[in-house]
Each structure stands twice: as C-alpha cells, then as structure tokens.
Structure 1
Amino acid sequence: MTLVLVYLVVLVLIAIVLFALGSVLFGRGEPLPPLPRGTTATVLPASGITGADVDAVKFTQTLRGYNTSEVDWVLDRLGQELDLLRGQLAAVRAAHGVDDGEDAGSEGVHAAPSSQDDA
C-alpha cells in the first residue's frame, strides 16, 4: 500500500514539474490582450460588401450564443448595402427604360412557398 502511495506522490510531483515547465516555455497562450469592453473584432468593409466578406465575419460567443449587438450591426450593414444596390439597380433600369420586373422576381428561387403550390 505504501508503494502505491509513493508512486502517486511521485506521479503528482512529475506532473507539477511538467506543468510548470510547459507554462514557462509556452506562456499563457494569449499573444494579444483582450479587447476593451464595448469594442468588437467584427468587421465589414464600409461599402462593396462581397460574399467573402460575409463568410469571414466572426462573432464573439457569449453564454447564450453570439453577441447580439454584433449580429444586429452586421445585419443592419447588410441591409443598408442591399438597399443601396437595389436603388442603384432601379436607377440603371429607369435610365435604360427597363421594366423593374417586381412580379417576375417575386416567384424566384428564394420565394416563400405559397398554399397554391400544395394543391
């Protein structure tokens, strides 16, 4: 029984030495200081948002999921960009005398299914 206790004590001492050595050699593992409170690392370009920009967006994770203020900000920016692009498209169509095609576009691939589709 004493031999098992000696083995356990030696094992714990070796683990402590290895942990201390690893901590000294590799540090805490945080090369950058944490962001100040109220700031975020979530970024989007000021204009000309592309699909790659949206794919690259990272949100801070909190206890209940993602930080809602960051998600709201990204959705607002994407909405503004869509409004701007649709306004530019409408201006170009109006300048060239092309019909908006609102009725044709409403039945597109991303349109919500209607109850008539089931019948």
Structure 2
Amino acid sequence: MVLFLFLVVALVVVVGAVTLAAVGGGDTAALPDAAPERLVDPLPQDRPVVSADVETVRFPLAVRGYRMADVDDALGRLSAELAERDARIADLESALAGARAMAPPPGQGSGFAPGDPR
C-alpha cells in the first residue's frame, strides 16, 4: 500500500513538472502575443465593386467562425454601393420614362416633310 501511494505521488509530481515545463512556468514574456489576423480589404476603393471582387473576398477565421467586424465592414460597403446603384438605376429609369413621354408616337416622325425647307 505504501509503495502504491508513493507511485501515485511520484506520478502526480512528474505530470505537474511536465505541465509546468510545457506551459513555461508562468513566464509570459517568453512568447509574445500573436497579432490578430485582420482582413486586408480586397474591395477596390477607386472603382465600384463588381461580382468578381465579391467572389475573391475571404475572411480570416477567428475562434468561433469569422471576425464579425470584418464581415460587417464588407457587408456595409456592399450595401452602400448597392443602394447607390439602385438610386442611379431609378434616376435613369425615370429619365427614360420622361424621354419616352416627350417623344412623338412611333410613325409620326418630327412633323417635317422630307423635302421641306424649314
């Protein structure tokens, strides 16, 4: 029984020493903290975003998936550009509807005869 207790205590001491050596003995200066992986914004700043740009976006992984700030930034940028495009499309469609309303009906022409000197 004494030998068994001695072996258990020796095993605990050895496991504790190995664990302490692996952790570094509490010396936090030995290993510097790694800089968090951050998204380098691959979306172009000098031109509108196209579908190929969106396909190339890769978010760095975090402990539980993706970094929410990186995803929120990219989605905010895409949302702003889509809103801008929607507004531009609406403006162009209203301008086209106005131009069609002002144009003469098909087949009436401009009211000038082909040889008219006006």
Q: TM-score, normalised by structure 2?
A: 0.48
> Which one has a bigger Cα radius of gyration?
2
